[in-house]
Amino acid sequence: MTFMKIKLLISSLLLFSLCLNAQQIAKINVSNGKVFRFENFYSNYVDARNIDIWLPENYSNKKNYAVLYLHDGQMLFDSTQTWNKQEWGVDETITQLKKEDKIEDVIVVGIWNSGKNRHIDYFPQKPFEALSKTEQDSMYAANRQNGNSVFSGKVQSDKYLKFIVTELKPFIDSNYSTNKIAKYTFIAGSSMGGLISIYALCEYPKVFGGAACLSTHWPGIFKADNPFPKAMQAYLKANLPVAKNHKIYFDYGTETLDAMYEPFQLQVDSIMTSKLYSFKNNDWKTQKFEGENHSEIAWCKRLHIPILFLLKK
């Protein structure tokens, strides 16, 4: 065994040891099932972060469960503990759909964002790197409305996806009763979380069978007139996985930040059609929600739609 292989083995064993020791029942309110938390889940690629794993009521090792990986994991279950007192209502939505016998059994893995590095974790790296140096510099100089920089450092989403695919997913598959194949493995998020979800599907089409992208933040920054959307569209033209083998969901509202998205989504929809995705074949759906804004309240109200789309029996 080479030194490098020994080093990787030791690193993997350390990762699993640290995570197993960190498991605890999270002190959050859910209407059904239980949430187990691994605090400061170690990674060789990105900042350590909490991982919340929701197991449905009557979880059994005798079943194989689909897995839904969700970004911004701290916003999913309990509004009393989120920064804006809003939540996605994931446990309520999935429980109701399961009671109606509409979806497959599923485990949810909530991947917390890292706070200050959220944007560089979620910003699709390859289309960004396709920009010229001048264009990249103009993006890095972008500010938020409060005057703070959008970016905390260099874009590192390829490392973030390596964390999910080579560290987190193997850990989940080794410790829970999952159906490991792509057909039953999904990834989803909102805003920048939507952007990284479609990028993840394109980068790892053999790992993820579907992606749900709510209020996808196609501009990448908070100014619509910038070079990134065209680079992202070119990337999608070249890298979207084969139609009929994957499921892709997009949506957007018409108020607050979502008001920016329709022109970009229409351009992406045209690409989807050119790549032979279709509503009729049930491998793609895009929905517009009039009057809805950019918030967890809005995403909670319509979460049942992408969940049903991805997990329908």
Is the pLDDT at 25 greater than 80? The verdict is no
Q: How confident is the model at residue 79 (pLDDT cuts 50, 70, 90)?
A: confident
Alpha-carbon distance of 122 to 75, in angstroms, equals 16
| pLDDT reported for residue 133 | 98
Q: What is the mean pLDDT of residues 160-177?
A: 98
Lowest mean pLDDT among 19-28, 47-56, 86-95, 301-310: 19-28
What mean pLDDT do residues 124-136 have?
A: 98
Per-residue confidence (pLDDT) for residue 21, from 0 to 100: 46
Q: pLDDT digits over 192-204, tens only?
A: 999 999 999 999 9
User: If DSSP codes are grouped into helix, strand and coil, which group holds residue 113?
Assistant: coil
Q: Domain spans of the chain?
A: 24-311
Confidence class for position 7, pLDDT limits 50, 70, 90 = very low
Report which of residues 2 and 172 the model is more confident about. Answer: 172
Asked whether the beta carbons of 251 and 288 are under 8 A apart, the reply is: yes
Give the pLDDT score at 12: 52
CATH no. for 24-311: 3.40.50.1820
pLDDT of the residue at 145: 87
Residue 291 or residue 20, greater confidence: 291
* Mean model confidence pLDDT for the chain: 93
Average pLDDT over residues 202-227: 98
pLDDT at 80: 87
pTM given for the model: 0.92
| Higher pLDDT among residues 82 and 277, named by residue | 277
Region of poorest pLDDT, from 26-40, 115-129, 235-249: 26-40
Burial 38-63 (b: 16+ CB within 10 A, else e): bbebbbeebbbbbbbbbbbeeeeeee
| Residues 57, 80: Cα–Cα separation, whole Å | 22
pLDDT at 22: 52
Provide the pLDDT confidence category of residue 96 given band limits of 50, 70 and 90. very high
Nearest-5° angle of CA 71, CA 188, CA 158? 65
Kindly give, in sequence order, each residue whose CB lies less than 8 Å from that of residue 293, ignoring residues fewer than 6 positions away.
253, 255, 256, 257, 258
For position 29, what pLDDT does the model report? 84
pLDDT tens readout for residues 236-265: 999 999 899 999 999 999 999 999 999 999
pLDDT number for residue 88: 94
**pLDDT tens per residue, range 36-56:** 999 999 999 999 999 999 999
Helix (H) or strand (E) holding 158: helix 157-162
Whether the predicted pLDDT of 307 surpasses 70: yes
